[in-house]
Amino acid sequence: MGERKCPLEIMVNDIKFWLGKKVLLTGHTGFKGSWLSIWLQHLGASLTGYSLDPPTNPSLFELAKVGDGMRDIRGDIRNLDSLTKALLESQAEIVIHMAAQPLVRHSYKFPIETYSTNVMGTVNLFEGIRASEKVKAIINVTTDKCYENREWLWGYREIDRIGGHDPYSNSKACSELVTDSYRRSYFDKENYASHGVSLASARAGNVIGGGDWSVDRLVPDCMTALLNGNKITIRNPKAVRPWQHVLEPLGGYLLLAEHLYNDGPQYAEAWNFGPLEADAIPVELLVEKICSKWGSNASFQSDDSYQPHEANHLKLDCTKSHKRLGWLPRWNLDKAIDFVIEWTKSYQNGQSIRESCQKQIDDYLDTKQVN
Ligand SMILES: NC(=O)c1ccc[n+]([C@@H]2O[C@H](COP(=O)([O-])OP(=O)(O)OC[C@H]3O[C@@H](n4cnc5c(N)ncnc54)[C@H](O)[C@@H]3O)[C@@H](O)[C@H]2O)c1
């Protein structure tokens, strides 16, 4: 793979910042939550997680023994009392909220579960934070799908209208509205001196990475088919998504949290964390790349049966994160796919999952230029 040198400068996270910081992470038993927990443990954070059990079997959380390096609390974010108790006991100064029902197709079947988790779960968390005197920085992790999709060719900016066709996308747009309301009503910039809380939201692209077994997600479906020696079946081959390695937005959340904590309300707003323009490509092109990199005659076919509505064209404009946070993606899509395949083959060969994750985090931290 030819490495492309690029003159863009990447803002490197302040590794010492996290040492001993008390952090509450919701959704720590999930795919992104497990990766972020491993990363935060590596940085020396004092980490508490609050979530339901891992949503898949197998799960990255169990395979990488993520719970061993943190306080692992199992609970429902729809339960205000239990969530508030966990938050207060954690004495968290930084809260990263990732617990959610995150799947579009599941949301069509279970809209009540989706809205109650993604909307009232967010309200409950913010209510818990209002009862805490410790929390200084909060990031609500929503999604690129929170934008009202116009099927246009441009990337969505943070100032674009939010909306959402399916219950998942719409519930995340609602979670954004809840965030905005709490920021104006209780954590407003004007009265920062009295409450001391900075609240932001983060909208990432479609993340790929080792250890995701979620159903009806493209790359997990591909990896499962390849591991079983089956042909990959894809839906919506022409749909364009902003693909990125899971470590990219997680690095963005860490950088944003540092700014919220150190610099306060000037960063308390919405932020996009997506790939560069060239890496928003159609599903079929992504799967072609996966097949050619996997080898062993890997192939795919399209499922032409009726599918519930999903957006055709979705991109993020991340100019604001580039310019104001100094955040940039470090790995292009080819490199991200290489890392997913490397991770999956390590899993196939029975190697230590924890070590595979740690090695990729080290590689990511060592990358000082976009390539
Ligand atoms: N994976 C992606 O491509 C992607 C893209 C953009 C945004 N996101 C967002 O990132 C976050 C994490 O996504 P993921 O891919 O890791 O999902 P995941 O399904 O792997 O993990 C979800 C986590 O939420 C927890 N959870 C679900 N319902 C809960 C409840 N009622 N109470 C407490 N915990 C609950 C689960 O136990 C799990 O820990 C979500 O908010 C999702 O919307 C994901």
The CATH code of the domain that includes 149 is 3.40.50.720
Could you give the CA distance from residue 278 to residue 283 in angstroms, rounded to a whole number? 14
Q: Is 3 inside a domain boundary?
A: no
ω before 58 within 30° of 0 (cis)? yes
How many folded domains does the chain comprise? 1
Question: From the alpha carbon of 34, which atom of ligand 1 is closest?
Answer: 16
Q: How far is the CA of 208 from the centre of ligand 1 (A)?
A: 14
Nearest of 81, 84, 100 to residue 92 by alpha carbon: 84
Could you give the CA distance from residue 53 to residue 29 in angstroms, rounded to a whole number? 6
The residue whose CA has the least distance to atom 22 of ligand 1 is 30
Q: Is 9 inside a domain boundary?
A: no
Q: How far is the CA of 30 from the centre of ligand 1 (A)?
A: 6
Q: Is 6 inside a domain boundary?
A: no
Q: How far is the CA of 55 from the centre of ligand 1 (A)?
A: 9
Q: Is 4 inside a domain boundary?
A: no
pLDDT at 28 (0 to 100): 98
| Test site for ligand 1: of 24, 26, 28, 31, most ligand atoms within 8 A of the Cβ | 31
Q: Is 348 inside a domain boundary?
A: yes
Q: Is 51 inside a domain boundary?
A: yes
Could you give the CA distance from residue 368 to residue 165 in angstroms, rounded to a whole number? 38
Collapsing DSSP to helix, strand or coil, 112 comes out as: helix
Could you give the CA distance from residue 344 to residue 298 in angstroms, rounded to a whole number? 14
Q: Is 42 inside a domain boundary?
A: yes
What residue numbers bound the domain in which 359 lies? Answer: 15-304+311-366
Q: How far is CA 78 from CA 130, 175, 368, in A?
A: 16, 14, 41
The residue whose CA has the least distance to atom 28 of ligand 1 is 100
The residue whose CA has the least distance to atom 7 of ligand 1 is 143
The residue whose CA has the least distance to atom 30 of ligand 1 is 76
Question: From the alpha carbon of 49, which atom of ligand 1 is closest?
Answer: 39
| Test site for ligand 1: of 98, 171, 272, most ligand atoms within 8 A of the Cβ | 98
Q: What is the pTM of this model?
A: 0.96
Collapsing DSSP to helix, strand or coil, 74 comes out as: strand
Radius of gyration of the chain (CA): 19
| Test site for ligand 1: of 52, 78, 80, 124, most ligand atoms within 8 A of the Cβ | 52
Return the number of other C-beta atoms located less than 10 Å from residue 80's C-beta. Answer: 17
Helix residue spans in 94-135 (DSSP H): 104-109, 111-115, 121-130
pLDDT at 205 (0 to 100): 87
Let me know: does 118 contact 100? Beta carbons within 8 Å: yes
Q: Is 1 inside a domain boundary?
A: no
pLDDT at 371 (0 to 100): 66
Question: From the alpha carbon of 77, which atom of ligand 1 is closest?
Answer: 32
Ligand 1 residue neighbourhood (C-beta within 6 Å):
27-33, 51-52, 55, 76-78, 98-102, 117, 121, 141, 143, 204, 206-207, 214
- Per-residue pLDDT in tens (0 to 9) along the chain, 371 residues: 334 444 455 566 677 999 999 999 999 999 999 999 999 999 999 999 999 999 999 999 999 999 999 999 999 999 999 999 999 999 999 999 999 999 999 999 999 999 999 999 999 999 999 999 999 999 999 999 999 999 899 999 999 999 999 999 999 999 999 999 999 999 999 999 999 999 999 999 899 999 999 988 999 999 999 999 999 999 889 989 899 999 999 999 999 999 999 998 999 999 999 999 999 999 999 999 999 999 888 888 888 877 778 778 889 999 999 999 999 999 999 999 999 999 999 999 999 999 999 999 999 999 976 76
pLDDT at 4 (0 to 100): 40
